[in-house]
Amino acid sequence: MRNLTAAVVCVAALPAMLPAWAEEPPLPLSLPIQCTPGTDCWAINHVDLDPTKGRRDYRCLAMTYDGHKGTDIALANDGRLADDVPVLATAPGRVVGTRDGMADVNARTTGFAAVKGKECGNGVRIDHGSGWATQYCHMKRGSIRVRQGDMIERGQALGAVGLSGATEFVHVHLSVTKDGSVIDPYRGVAGGPDCGAGDVPLWDEAARVALLNQPAPVLLDAGLSGQQVTKEQAASGTQSPATIPAAAPVMILWLRAAGVEPGDTARMVITRPDGSSFFDDTITANHRRILFFRFVGRKNRTGAWPTGDWRGGVTLARDGVVTAEREVEVRVDR
């Protein structure tokens, strides 16, 4: 991401046993977003620690993309844009740059060339002193609450999560730098094992509990629908109706996941109102995917689905260990 400058406005996790760190980080960082990681938001991209054309996150997995310089914390779908989920300052400091006014739109729709030089979208940059700085990107148009020169407190709302700049999903991108060099907040600056959190991560205690050892793959969203669903429609947050007509042409269960590795599995189950099995299959991923979309189901060959409550279940697993599961429901009416 390009930096915001002062001269121009250019800009459910599973519980885990965490080690007790002997040192406090030089810049303790709190969560940059008002949400509950693992429940309604997920860290799905991390700093790319591979200096080559490959990609490697702090756990030696591939939850990143080549050259990524920050941490992406995503919401379930683009429909959450309307909720104005607050972006929060991770530490006290002084605002040194902002940008607002860019549209909230999937960059794949308009083309990434349209945001060249403004990849961060609407955002805020904060100087924390001693060479430390943080930058918050892809914020919602018209939501920026601070100005250059403002003194900011930890946890202060800077604006809202958006879809501006070079992005394809609603999230906040947090980048951390020390003397201009990118620092992975999961690793910190004190060294550590080759794979895993550093000896002194920058996250404060609450953020460590919320973010460290988040299982992968993660399940962003799922739903039952009476029509064919594309990945774009699923991402929009509009494909989980409360009811569908008995004459609906299909019965579809879909999922959106992140951080998928080859061999990861997704069991997808649909159950009729009487409790009998309508569909039950397990999909195995063949490729790495930052974002992963799949749907299963059947056509309506009888003219009318049985009325009542249909249920869908999605279970994600890696190496046989469940990492996420969710149940969804839709009522079929005459």
- On whether both 260 and 323 belong to a single domain, the answer is yes
State yes or no: pLDDT of 123 exceeds 80.
yes
- Domain assignment of residue 12, yes or no: no
- Is pLDDT of 24 > 90? no
What percent of the chain has a predicted confidence (pLDDT) above 70? Answer: 93
**245 with 108, same domain?**
no
According to the per-residue pLDDT averaged within each range, which of 5-14, 140-149, 228-237 is highest?
140-149
Average pLDDT, rounded, for the chain: 92
- Domain extent, residue 112, equals 41-211
Predicted local distance difference test score (pLDDT) of residue 13:
38
Residue 244 shares a structural domain with residue 168: no
Cα–Cα distance for residue pair 151/189, rounded to 1 Å: 26
Instruction: Check residues 303 and 14 and name the one with the higher pLDDT.
Output: 303
Closest CA to 317 of 257, 271, 277: 257
Longest Cα pair distance anywhere in the chain, in angstroms?
70
pLDDT score, position 141: 98
- Residues 191, 294, single domain; the answer is no
The residue from 165, 182, 211 where one domain ends is 211
pLDDT of residue 238: 87
Residue 176 lies in a domain: yes
Q: pLDDT grade, residue 1 (50/70/90)?
A: very low
Whether residue 23 has pLDDT greater than 90: no
One domain for residues 261 and 306: yes
Question: How high is the pLDDT of residue 334?
Answer: 86
Q: Is 11 within the bounds of a domain?
A: no
Q: Is residue 8 part of a domain?
A: no
Q: Mean pLDDT, to the nearest integer, of 98-122?
A: 95
In whole angstroms, give the CA distance from residue 308 to residue 288: 38
In Å, how far from its chain's centre is CA 213?
A: 15
In the predicted structure, residue 7 carries a pLDDT above the cut 60? no
CB atoms within 10 A of CB 80: 21
Mean pLDDT for 34-54 is 95
Give Cα 101 to chain centroid, integer Å: 23
Q: Do 188 and 273 belong together in one domain?
A: no
Q: Same structural domain for residues 188 and 310?
A: no
Q: How many domains does the chain have?
A: 2
Distance CA 154, CA 90 (A): 6
Q: Is pLDDT above 50 for 11? A: no
Say which CATH number the domain at 48 has: 2.70.70.10
Instruction: Say whether both 146 and 252 belong to one domain.
Output: no
Do 192 and 285 sit in the same domain of this protein? Answer: no
What pLDDT is stored for residue 267 in this prediction? 99
Same structural domain, 122 and 180: yes
Answer whether residue 30 is part of any domain.
no
pLDDT of residue 80: 96
Asked which of 171, 193, 211 is the last residue of a domain, the reply is 211
Please check whether residues 207 and 227 belong to one and the same domain: no
Answer with the one of 177, 211, 245 that is the final residue of a domain.
Answer: 211
The predicted pLDDT at position 213 comes to 80
Does residue 13 lie in a domain region? no
296 and 160 both lie in a single domain: no
Q: What is the pTM of this model?
A: 0.90
- 152 in a structural domain: yes
Phi and psi, residue 309, nearest 5°? -95, 115
Task: Output the six-digit token pair for 22.
Answer: 């002997």
User: Mind listing the pLDDT tens digit for each residue in 194-247?
Assistant: 999 999 999 999 999 999 988 999 999 999 999 999 999 999 998 889 999 999
